[in-house]
Amino acid sequence: MNETVGPEDVRAAAAACREALSGVVDRDWSILADGLEWSCRQTLEHIPNAQLFYASQLALQANERLPRASGAGDQLTVAELLLTVEVNASILEHVLRAAPASARAYHPAGMADPSGFAGMSCDEILLHTADIAGGFGIDFQAPEDICAKVLARLFPWAPTDVSSWDSLRWANGRLALSRVAPPDVNWRWHCAPLSEWDGTIPRRE
């Protein structure tokens, strides 16, 4: 197994999202996602928007946040939104494959490299899929191999004595672990190259 989170993981995470949620497309998506103040639909709309943001930033190796035109997500059906998750993840996948390893681009959490953007993409997809699934009473279990890669890339401080999915949920503030203090509410990913990690947990100021 490739130990570094990469383009293929972004596509796999998007496929896992669509598979998990395709059976509830006809349900009421105005209900709140589990643990969020967003509805399930708002949470779903956010996922492909994040993928396109990452792809745009990395494609131009932008050193600041690029302006974006608002989409027409509110005009799409839930089934179309789920397809858009995979479409936009595929766009990001191609940008990741084309980007040199030395590429850097702005994200609020730091100047991310391609593996950082891949990690953030998978984290957004998997955690928000779980948020939505929880709203519908579905027990979503993310792929352990992808979770392990994302943890190693974005959360090198996360515990390793539990399953990768449990540790990833803990790192994102979604799950309490009995032997570990919860993360700071102002935590941030470490999306800059791992070689630049100073051993502390990044946080919003």
The reported pLDDT for the residue numbered 68 is: 79
The reported pLDDT for the residue numbered 185 is: 92
C-alpha distances out from residue 87 to 2, 96, 181, Å: 24, 14, 37
Query: What is the count of structural domains for the chain?
Result: 1
What are 180's strand-pairing partners?
177
Residue carrying the six token digits 């984290």: 123
β-strands 110-112, 105-107 pairing: antiparallel
Structure letter (DSSP) for residue 75: G
Where in the sequence is the domain holding 170, given as residue range(s)?
A: 7-196
Give the mean pLDDT per block of 10 residues along the chain (205 residues).
Answer: 87 98 98 98 97 97 88 83 97 98 97 98 98 98 98 97 98 95 94 96 89
Amino acid sitting at position 29: W
The reported pLDDT for the residue numbered 6 is: 97
The reported pLDDT for the residue numbered 3 is: 78
2 inside domain: no
Q: How far is CA 189 from the centre of its chain?
A: 11
The reported pLDDT for the residue numbered 70 is: 61
204 inside domain: no
78 inside domain: yes
The reported pLDDT for the residue numbered 157 is: 97
205 inside domain: no
The reported pLDDT for the residue numbered 74 is: 76
107 inside domain: yes
202 inside domain: no
CATH code, 99: 1.20.120
190 inside domain: yes
